[in-house]
Structure 1
Amino acid sequence: MIKRRLEAKIQNALKRSPAVALMGPRQVGKTTIALDISESRSSVYLDLENPLDLVKVQDIGVFHAENRNSLIILDEVQRKPDIFAPLRGIIDKERRKGNKAGQFLFLGSASIDLLQQSSESLAGRIAYIELQGIDVLEYANRQPEKINELWLRGGFPESLLATSDSDSLEWRQDFIKTYLERDIPQLGPRIPAQTLGRFWTMLAHQQAGIINTSQLAKNLEVSVTTIGRYLDLMCDLLLVRRLQPWTSNIGKRLVKAPKVYIRDSGITHALLNISSYNDLLGHPVSGGSWEGFIVENILSVIPSGTLPYFYRTSNGAEIDLVLDFSGNEKWAIEIKRSSAPTLSKGFYIACEDIKADKRYIIYSGQERFTLSEGVIAVSLPDLMQELLDKQ
């Protein structure tokens, strides 16, 4: 269901914009979706990691002229970031001829170069769409055992659909090794794989925690500035998320450092060598991992323009996730794994602080019911569907 919805979103974007960039980490399924789209129209697909395909676009103007009636799909486009500058002239020329949309589809496994180059050269000519891993509505819906499997293995298709938990873990560990030893060095940063691997693992141990850059710097024996550079890189690679704090001035002492999540729960578990569901339940990171899993699933279906935050004061008032919709509507969301959820006084205080329009607690049960002070207990699939209906 989600895949079909995303394909429709890409198709609609291609009808409006000359160029569309589909971004997401490696192996998340971008190429599969692009090839499905290519079957519905005249298209030409090039993988810029293939030396022969890379040669074909050395002169993108000539290549476009030969294929101007087709959708040109360029995979791993960050391998040739200088391609964006001449594309501006090509797109503008086609516009003058009346061809205003659907000329290029870019696939990128890193936003670091893709965003910089395209935003500089193609402002007003490109639409961005992010592809995340398989989510709860697509894979599990309301089946608890499948939700748990998705949580353990994460949303990368080959990991999730592996024949066993051990095969899944091995795939994820190979994925991590490939990123550290091949993909990141090819993007330019000269960071030792061992150092970046230790940093990634430290983030896994602190999943869903407030980042302490000074402590991380001390542990890695680098500067705080270097830690910031490492974190920027992992966020640009779409592997890590910084969830910013709600910092509106309400006259209270607010936590101002961001929360940090490894975006795929399966990668979190692979970094910590958690191989089974039972091992996960007994691990200290279990609570933070579950929170990150819920947050990523929710953010995969929020309407365009929605801003996510968390809220925390020095006195303990806290909301796990705040969704700020355009139009000033705000939802406060608390995350629990319990089938009999309870809320602390701090959540109610925090809701009053931000003047939340709706208040939810996500729990592991299936029924929807109201707790005190208008807080609605709801399952993850039901809240995700409510967000989809809001789009």
Structure 2
Amino acid sequence: MFPRYLTPRLAVALKRSPVVYLMGARQVGKTTLVRMLAGDRGMAYYTLDDPAVLAAARADPVGFITGLAGPVVIDEVQRAPDLLLAIKMAVDSDRRPGRFLLTGSMGFKSRSEAAAALVGRAEFLTLRPLAQGELERSKRNFVAGLWAGDPRELMRPGNGRSLVPRVCAGGYPPVQGKNEADRAAWFASYLAALIERDLMSLARIEYPERALALLRAVAAATATPQNVGSLAAELGLPAATARRYEELFERLFLIERLPAWSASLKKQLTRRPKLVVNDTGMAVYLLRMNCEGLEQRPEILGRLVESFVLAELAKQASWLDPEPQRFHYRTRAGAEVDAVL
């Protein structure tokens, strides 16, 4: 099992907040991590992937929560959103820290009632695919070195290995150590299940195959300021539909917006963000490529390497408390800084 360097920050959050919500894509290791914490801390563990538990939680959310004894872990809580309102009621009457450790594979709409129920009551953390340091069991943290201003951390040489195999493998735990054919088979199954199970539960998807085509188009232009309207036109999708699909993929933690940095908050909100695929292994699969083919396509490889670095920065930043914000920067003349922390 790989170490997860978010664990110390998660442990601190449980000591100071009544609810801790651990978010992240399916299969990044949330369940493994929270089950380990549950065992170490004597917390009861419930998963809403269990049909009986899910049925009980949906039938009587308040009764389900009030019937729990002691601190608990509730895995995949997004499958019964009304539980969050019941948790709000429980926390409002008893705000002891560490009462609820929740996990979810879908992000909230910012305006949703369920998300609002936890405001001021919960800390939200994101578990991302494995970082290179976790894969190598090394605790080096480039972002922490930047923050500390430690030149020794910043100037350490790498091991000289090519980035291409790392880009192709990405960070999902189940594909580590697999060959390229087996990785492709896993990603095919993963995305099919994600669209059938999660995407369809979030919204009525008229054309699931076009949703996947949009995700492929985003992967092809990853780490660039993308115009979703233009992508929609290329795919024969209404622009509103494409924007909805994009939002859904964000909520499933497959892609992420990297906002533009500006000294003016107003300009930060209006300048075009970059769209980044959160895992380069998945991006390579979506582009129907392999390591050998990538080395022959420097323009695609360049975007994937940038996405790989942005993902590494996001993972390392998530281990820090408080977590640094991340941006990109581009001048009107076209000068660019790929990442601003």
- Conserved 8 A contact 2:223-2:274: yes
More displaced 10-residue stretch of structure 1: 168-177 or 214-223: 214-223
Match of 2:169 in 1: 153
- Post-superposition offset of 1:268: 0.3
Match of 2:184 in 1: 169
Letter in 2 for 1:262: V
3-state DSSP of counterpart to 1:5? coil
3-state DSSP of counterpart to 2:87? helix
Letter in 2 for 1:311: Y
Q: Which has the larger radius of gyration?
A: 1
Output the TM-score relative to the length of structure 2. Answer: 0.84
- Post-superposition offset of 1:157: 0.3
- Post-superposition offset of 1:300: 1.4
Q: 1:25 to 1:115 in 2, by over 3 A?
A: farther
Partner of residue 127 from structure 1, selected from 105, 123, 130: 123
Letter in 2 for 1:320: D
Letter in 2 for 1:318: E
Q: Matches of 2:195 and 2:305 in 1, distance apart?
A: 25
TM-superposition CA deviations, 1:306-348 (whole Å, max 9, x none)? 222111123222111111xxxxxxxxxxxxxxxxxxxxxxxxx
Q: Matches of 2:92 and 2:105 in 1, distance apart?
A: 27
Q: 1:66 to 1:108 in 2, by over 3 A?
A: same
More displaced 10-residue stretch of structure 1: 301-310 or 209-218: 301-310
- Post-superposition offset of 1:180: 2.0
- Conserved 8 A contact 2:109-2:115: no
TM-superposition CA deviations, 1:255-310 (whole Å, max 9, x none)? 932211111001100001113x2222123411000000001101212243522211
Match of 2:328 in 1: 310
- Post-superposition offset of 1:60: 4.1
3-state DSSP of counterpart to 2:101? strand
- Post-superposition offset of 1:55: 2.8
Letter in 2 for 1:67: L
3-state DSSP of counterpart to 1:39? helix
Percent identity reads: 29
- Conserved 8 A contact 2:260-2:327: yes
Q: Matches of 1:166 and 1:115 in 2, distance apart?
A: 41
Match of 2:69 in 1: 68
Q: Give the structure with the higher percent strand.
A: 1
More displaced 10-residue stretch of structure 1: 136-145 or 12-21: 136-145
Q: Matches of 1:210 and 1:166 in 2, distance apart?
A: 31
Give the 4+ runs in structure 1 shifted more than 6 A. none
- Conserved 8 A contact 2:202-2:248: no
- The RMSD of aligned alpha carbons is 2.4
For structure 2, the 5+ residue unaligned runs are 139-157
Q: Matches of 2:324 and 2:339 in 1, distance apart?
A: 12
- Post-superposition offset of 1:205: 1.1
Match of 1:350 in 2: none
Match of 1:280 in 2: 294
- Conserved 8 A contact 1:78-1:110: yes
Relative contact order, higher structure (CA 8 A, sep 6+): 2
Once the two structures are superposed, the pairs formed by residues 73-112 of structure 1 within 5 Å of their partners are: 73-95=73-95, 100-112=96-108
- Conserved 8 A contact 2:107-2:251: yes
For structure 1, the 5+ residue unaligned runs are 324-391
Q: Matches of 1:43 and 1:221 in 2, distance apart?
A: 50
- Post-superposition offset of 1:4: 4.7
Output the TM-score relative to the length of structure 1. Answer: 0.74
Q: Matches of 1:76 and 1:178 in 2, distance apart?
A: 16
TM-superposition CA deviations, 1:5-44 (whole Å, max 9, x none)? 3222212111111111100000000000011001112222
- Conserved 8 A contact 1:23-1:108: yes
Q: Matches of 1:143 and 1:313 in 2, distance apart?
A: 34
Q: Does 1:182 align with 2:197?
A: yes
Match of 2:55 in 1: 55
Letter in 2 for 1:271: L
Q: Does 1:299 align with 2:317?
A: no
Match of 1:21 in 2: 21
Letter in 2 for 1:210: P
3-state DSSP of counterpart to 2:333? coil
- Conserved 8 A contact 1:29-1:157: yes
Q: 1:116 to 1:147 in 2, by over 3 A?
A: farther
Q: Matches of 2:203 and 2:74 in 1, distance apart?
A: 20
